[in-house]
Amino acid sequence: METLSSDNSVELPAQIEVNSPSQQTPEEPIESGIEAVPEGAGKAQHSLLTLEYYQQFFKVDTFMVLRRIRNSMIPKLASGNYLRMDIDQNPDLYGPFWLSITLIFSIAISSNIASYRHYAGNDYHWHYNFQLVSNAATCVFIYAIVLPVVLWALFKDSLKPVLYEELDSASYTPTLLSLICIYGYSLAIYIPVSILCVIEIALIQWLLVIIAALLTGFVLIDVMKPALRNSKYAIFLIIGILSVQFILSAGFLMYFYQDSLVTGTRFLQQVPCYQSPLKTSPRQSLGIKD
């Protein structure tokens, strides 16, 4: 009950200011009412055996795919930290998958066309060789998957010992997905080469595969330069990368285009050469038979 004093004044209860600084002690922190969210709690975790896990590797746009195709065909076009700052941050499987599928059917179709042209003028009953599709698929996927796995293991095993202050830069090795990504994109140049190998001239065919091997080899070495710099076997890895490119290119030509390669060699042999105007020997010119 409130009491009235003699001067008719009313006594009211004291008001406490909630936000007054005097009511807060230094030892007690001010609670904002918002609980901290642990890092990664907003991201859905998917199992390795689910399709949702692999969807993150197909989130690319057309501009990114075209840029990576261009960087895989032209040496020195990508920046020095292209592998670490671009590929490692967002490795995709969309480009490598479709480039591999396109190359498989490109090799199978163009090699059958070359075979047909080889037997076109003969009485041979030509038929399509469907086995070339499976053979091309085996070679392409060994190149795009097995080689990156082997290279990734070699990078991990051959890492140089580094000091603590050099740990950030000198201990860098690319991820397995990054290597699969750059090796998958490196197949892009072989698509036009496989189509041009229909030309039945051996010299042109060999020039095409040598140029393709040189371009892809130098691009791979240039892109993987940060990882090669940290490897104890850098020289051997560089030689191995270039050798694999030449073996792959020569193997594709000699296996899938062997008929057109033989025809192209015969074409070069039939090119007329310079002949001496002296058509008879000195003995024959004197009427003496040899």
Question: Mean pLDDT of residues grouped by 10 in the chain (290 residues)?
Answer: 48 49 47 42 57 72 90 85 84 91 92 81 73 90 93 86 53 84 93 91 91 93 87 90 92 84 51 46 52
Helix axes 62-73, 94-118, angle to 10 degrees: 60
| Residue-level pLDDT at 41 | 43
What does DSSP assign to residue 10? B
- Residue 252 is assigned to a structural domain of this protein: yes
- Residue 1 is assigned to a structural domain of this protein: no
Amino acid at 193: V
| Residue-level pLDDT at 38 | 45
| Residue-level pLDDT at 16 | 47
In contact, 261 and 202? CB cutoff 8 Å: yes
How many angstroms separate the first and last alpha carbons of the chain? Answer: 152
| Residue-level pLDDT at 61 | 84
| Residue-level pLDDT at 161 | 66
Domain count within the chain: 1
- Residue 55 is assigned to a structural domain of this protein: yes
CA distance 200 to 259: 9
- Residue 6 is assigned to a structural domain of this protein: no
| Residue-level pLDDT at 272 | 47
| Residue-level pLDDT at 232 | 85
- Residue 67 is assigned to a structural domain of this protein: yes
- Residue 107 is assigned to a structural domain of this protein: yes
- Residue 130 is assigned to a structural domain of this protein: yes
| Residue-level pLDDT at 85 | 83
Residues in Cβ contact with 2 at an 8 Å cutoff, skipping those fewer than 6 apart:
10, 11, 12
| Residue-level pLDDT at 116 | 81
| Residue-level pLDDT at 125 | 72
| Residue-level pLDDT at 59 | 80
Question: pTM of the entire structure?
Answer: 0.70
Q: Note the residue count of the chain.
A: 290
Nearest to 219 by CA among 171, 187, 175: 187
- Residue 79 is assigned to a structural domain of this protein: yes
What does DSSP assign to residue 85? I
- Residues of the domain holding 104: 51-159+174-268
